[in-house]
Chains A and B, each alone.
Chain A
Amino acid sequence: MTPTAVVMMIIAMVTVWGGLIAAVVNLARHPEVAESEPGPPVEL
């Protein structure tokens, strides 16, 4: 592979896969809030 191609490949991988890892880490740090929604209403 040419140096330019390698650089482009690295840019693509770092941006996209790095972004994915960062996004997953961020989400894992903010776990889903325990359900505070009221349950289904009592049907009549």
Chain B
Amino acid sequence: MSTATTHAPRREAFGSRNVFILSAIGSAVGLGNIWRFPYVAYEGGGGAFLIPYLCALLTAGIPLLFFDYAIGHRFRGSAPLAFRRMHRGAEPLGWWQVLICVVIATYYAVIIAWAAMYTWFSAQLTWGKGNEEGFFFTDFLQKGDAADGLSTQFVPLVGWPLIGVWLVVIIIMGLGVKRGIGRANLVLMPLLTVMFAVLVVQSLFLPGAIDGLNAFFTPNWEALADPAVWASAYGHIFFSLSVAFGIMVTYASYLKRKTDLTGSGLVVAFANSGFEILAGIGVFAALGFMAQAQGTDVSGVAASGIGLAFVAFPTIVSQAAGGSIIGVLFFGALVFAGVTSLISVLEVVVAALQDKLGWGRVRTTLIVSIPIALISIALFSTTTALVVLDTTDAFVNAFGIMAVALVAVIVVAWMLRKLPVLREHLNRRSSFGVGWFWMLLVGALAPIVLGYLFISELIAKISTPYGGYPDWFLAIFGWGMVIALIVLAVLLALLPWSRRSHAKDDPDYDEFLVEEHYEPDAETGTVRTAREYMTPESASNGGRA
């Protein structure tokens, strides 16, 4: 980065394609794969869930991953800038994604903090055999009731590790894309893979493991008739693959110009799902053991996501021979997977403000991360953390991620009609060509499926108060939060971009446009120089997308 010129700093970049792939896998493989997938699959009919899941992966996950890569790489910007370059009116979409990431980052961090504490507890069996549930909710979280209002009572066992998580993450973010994010993923991802492989093998040798696999893979076909199961499969794929909320747009903008986008995307998508299947096997093998030890069915041993990770797993750790090792591996994997995802979520926000303000890395990181960290600590180190987390997670998934994906595909495919442009960009540099079928999946199937899912979620959440929480509470942390994201996104898009911002001053982008023989961008400072390379006809259309 240069300080000697008046230009905004050059755009950062990943060291190589492999570092990008590793970072994208690091982002995609998160708590969701380990902590959420087994739970979602379990709720969604066990083996039968694999059908909506694989459908969602092949027809929506991968096509939308390509869609995100194409936007980020073609328009070379954070989500708001990339959408602005596509069309001025599309900028609020980018800010909406940024704000979704702000919300996710606040609660994602606390789950990492819990997992970090549980890594330590596993080594000591701190909870005391037989007291796993009471320990988690009462001793550890000191869970309170939302009906009494939001708590301000600090829970030290959660609060301090949460502060620690934020410090580590802020340091990684401050080091930048190549030295911070890239390097963290280079270290953590191989470590995570090895740890998880050992965990799965160890689980498979537990008595009763086969019963667990049986429960995991035996299909309950009736579940396929339930729209909620399809909703959770598609919702899970979006959340798991990190598509449609700005992460992949941002990461793709850090790729070099000649990169195989679809080839890399396929590796990322299948690695993510491969990890998920592995997690399902590991988790259910362990649950099979637990069921056998307690003399019940596998169906009787796990009730919910948090229960699965923080009640069932500690129980397994208490009961299994060598349980402490299983616990340390499991919760350590949660921490590593969570950190690599949290940094990608935060990068959406940091990159957006870097582009908007034209500031350097460290300054932007601190301006972005410290307020988010403070909100996160204020909301999630208290006794009402679990209730707030449960509500924000449910609402931001349904009416944040799913809604922005729906609006984005409709706007880009039907209003701006940019799919041919994106397809052309993908095919120019990629080993796996995409054709009309890809456009059909993104432009037709995705809006239909997402629209259906969105409406059924809307009906479900309106008809019964989510989780039986009080109305005022849902009005703030559920509905109010998701509506506020949209309003704020529009307001942020109305704020003008300064002359120092990347929208106005980005020689790299102009150079890229000239090299690729794309039309020049009407807004960037060096546009006149770039126009010299263009024919008068194309130059006169410049930027009017």
- Interface residues in chain A, defined as those with a beta carbon under 8 Å from any beta carbon in chain B: 1-2, 4-6, 8-9, 11-13, 15-17, 19-20, 22-24, 26-27, 29-30, 32-33, 35-38, 40-41, 43-44
Contacts and interface: CB of A to CB of B under 8 A. Distances in A.
Contact of B274 (A8, A16, A33, A41): A16
Interface stretch (B75-83, B178-186, B261-269, B378-386): B261-269
Nearest to B13: A37
Given A5-B47, A16-B277, A44-B5, 20 more contacts: A1-B213, A2-B214, A2-B218, A4-B47, A5-B216, A15-B54, A16-B276, A19-B266, A19-B273, A20-B274, A24-B267, A27-B267, A30-B431, A32-B18, A35-B256, A36-B258, A37-B257, A40-B10, A41-B507, A43-B2
A27 B219 contact: no
A17 B197 CA distance: 14
A33 B431 CA distance: 12
B432 interface: yes
Given A19-B270, A27-B431, A43-B4, A8 B47 contact: yes
B17 to A, nearest CB: 5
B299 interface: no
A23 B276 CA distance: 17
A4 B48 CA distance: 10
12 contacts: A5-B219, A9-B217, A11-B50, A12-B50, A19-B270, A19-B273, A19-B274, A23-B270, A30-B263, A32-B16, A36-B258, A41-B507
B362 interface: no
A22 B266 CA distance: 9
Contact of B266 (A4, A15, A23, A38): A23
Contacts of A20: 267, 270-271, 273-274
B439 interface: no
A27 B432 CA distance: 9
B121 to A, nearest CB: 32
A1 B217 contact: yes
A16 B432 CA distance: 17
Interface of B: 2, 4-5, 10, 16-18, 21, 47-48, 50, 54, 210, 213-214, 216-219, 256-260, 263-264, 266-267, 269-271, 273-274, 276-277, 431-432, 507, 511
Q: Which of B47, B210, B216, B269 has the most CB of A within 10 A?
A: B47
Given A16-B277, A23-B263, A36-B258, A5 B270 contact: no
Nearest to A13: B277
B511 A38 contact: yes
B217 A12 contact: yes
Contacts of A6: 217
A23 B269 CA distance: 9
A19 B269 CA distance: 9
A22 B306 CA distance: 35
Nearest to B50: A12
Contact of B218 (A8, A11, A30, A35): A8
A17 B277 contact: yes
Given A16-B273, A20-B270, A32-B17, A43 B5 contact: yes
Contact of B263 (A19, A27, A37): A27
Nearest to B18: A32
Contacts of A38: 511
B348 to A, nearest CB: 25
Contacts of A41: 507
Q: Which of B21, B260, B507, B511 has the most CB of A within 10 A?
A: B260
Contacts of A33: 258-259
Contacts of B47: 4-5, 8-9, 12
Nearest to A15: B54
A37 B11 CA distance: 13
